Structure 1
Amino acid sequence: MKIIKVDYHNIDMEHICCAITDKKGESCASLKKAWMKERFDDGLIFKKLDVRGKVFIEYIPAENAWCPVEADGYMFINCFWVSGKFKGQGYGNKLLEECIKDSKQYGKKGLVILSSKKKMPFLSDPKYLKYKGFQLCDVADPYFELLYLPFEKDAEKPRLKECCKKGVIDKMGIVLYYSNQCPHTEKYATLLTEIAGIEGIDFTLIKYQTKEQAQNSPAPFTTYSLFYDGKFVTNEVLSEKKFRNFLAERGL
């Protein structure tokens, strides 16, 4: 199977949206594709196995990443996912090789990616990344790790901005920050807003519309970050059931 690049010419025809495969997910997929189209001029690259499945890697020059990271000259990996029947066949290695090849071609210092202390939903597996040579260069509360793969021995280490390291904000209640960088977020952000409204719960929804907003986020993961009473809770995109469990656990 070959690896293909998704760009202006084929994005409307290609399946790019993770686990969204049915017609109900089409509107979510279209928002993700619209987000991608606006990023192509910023250097966004999206490569995938030529199948209808979850086998892809997405990266962008770190200066244009939707992440509060200081990593000038690096390539930032937004998302790297190999799942289901495609795991264990070397596709992850091939996709990573494509990213390395492109990054060197563009004269980058190396790669940088947001991960976690242990495998977490919606974040790349730190065990695999470290096995492939990625090193820890910075951390943020409560579990985020910034990993990098330098191409030269003395390359300057990337770092996270101070604004995102403590995982705190000055607003009480439930606050959800998100963007359309992931096709899942719009649907569930809207759903959580509706549930909170029905239950009369203090809920604030903040959508990142620009890279400048995302680059000054109070959490490293700008695709989806949930806070409660001023503290970061999770980057996992919560389903209705998980959100209701979250509310019940806090007596809301």
Structure 2
Amino acid sequence: MEFKRLTLDNLDSEHICCAITDKKGESGVSSKKDWLRKRLSEGLVFDKLDVRGKVFIEYIPAEKAWCPIVADNYMFINCFWVSGQYKGQGYANLLLERCINDSKEKGKEGIVILSTEKKMPFLSDPKYLKYKGFKIADKAVPYYELLYLPFSAQANIPQFKEFVKNDLIDHKGWVIYYTNQCPHTEKYVPILINHLTSKGFAVQAIKLDTTEQGQKAPNPFTTYALFYNGKFITNEILSEKSFDKLLIKMKIC
């Protein structure tokens, strides 16, 4: 099987490998493709196995990353996913190797990626990344790790911006920060807002629409971050059912 790179010419026709299928009129897929279209001119690369499956890596120069970090002259991996029948066949290694080689050719000092202490939904597996040589550059509460793979001993060490190292915001009630970096958000954020409203909860959705907003976000995972009464709760994109389970766990009626 061969790998394929998304371009402005093939983006509309290509399956973008995410869990939401490319159904006609699917708002999540179209919003993600619109987001990609704007980022391609900023140096974003989306490499995928030429199949209708979730086998891809998406990365961008760290200066353009929608993440509150300082990682000058690094490449930032937005999303790295191999799943289903394609696991265990070496595709993750091949995709990562393509990213490394491309980054070196572009004169980067290394690669940086957002991960967690233990594997969490929607974030890359820290165990695999550390096995491949990534090291911890910085940490942010409650569980985020900024991992990096330097190409030389002289490479700068990336960092989280200081304001994002706690897990607090100055808002009451439920607040969701999100972007169209993931196709799930355009679908599930409105569903969760309606669900919260039906339960009588106050809720505010804050959509980050620009790189600058992403780099000033109060949580490292700008794709989706749920807060309650000013405290970060989860980065997991929730359905009504999973939110109700969360309420029970938090003992909120």
TM-score of the superposition, structure 2-length normalised? 0.97
Q: Distance in 2 between matches of 1:158 and 1:52?
A: 34
* Cα deviation digits, residues 8-39 of structure 1 (max 9, x gap): 01111111041112637722101000000011
Counterparts of 1:170-181 in structure 2, within 5 Å, are: 170-181=170-181
Specify the alignment match of 2:191 in structure 1: 191
The answer (yes or no) to whether the contact 1:17–1:183 under 8 Å persists in 2 is: no
Q: CA–CA distance in 1 between the matches of 2:14 and 2:240?
A: 29
Count of residues in Structure 1 that have an aligned counterpart in Structure 2: 252
Shift of 1:239: 1.2
Equivalent position amino acid for 1:205 in 2: A
Asked if structure 2 preserves the Cα contact closer than 8 Å seen for 1:47 and 1:56, the reply is: yes
2:16 corresponds in structure 1 to: 16
CA distance in 2, matches of 1:77, 1:242: 27
Structure 1: segments with no counterpart, 5+ residues: none
CA distance in 2, matches of 1:173, 1:250: 15
Shift of 1:198: 1.5
Residue 217 of structure 1 corresponds to 217
Aligned to 2:140: 140
Distance 1:145 1:25 in 2: 36
Query: 2:208–2:214: 8 Å Cα contact kept in structure 1?
Result: yes
CA contact (8 A) 1:17 1:29 kept: no
- Aligned-partner SS, 1:42: coil
Deviations 1:187-241 (A, max 9, x none): 1100011112222201110000001011011100000000111111110101110
User: In structure 2, the residue corresponding to 1:206 is in which secondary structure?
Assistant: strand
Cα gap change, 1:29/1:22 in structure 2, threshold over 3 Å: closer, same or farther?
closer
Correspondence list, 1:1-252, <5 A: 1-21=1-21, 23=23, 26-248=26-248, 249-252=250-253
Q: Deviation of residue 163 (structure 1)? A: 1.7
Structure 2 portions without partners, runs of 5+: none
Q: Percent identity?
A: 62
Alignment TM-score, normalising by the size of structure 1: 0.97
Describe the SS at the equivalent of 2:41: helix
3-state DSSP class of the match of 2:34?
helix
AA partner of residue 63 (structure 1): E
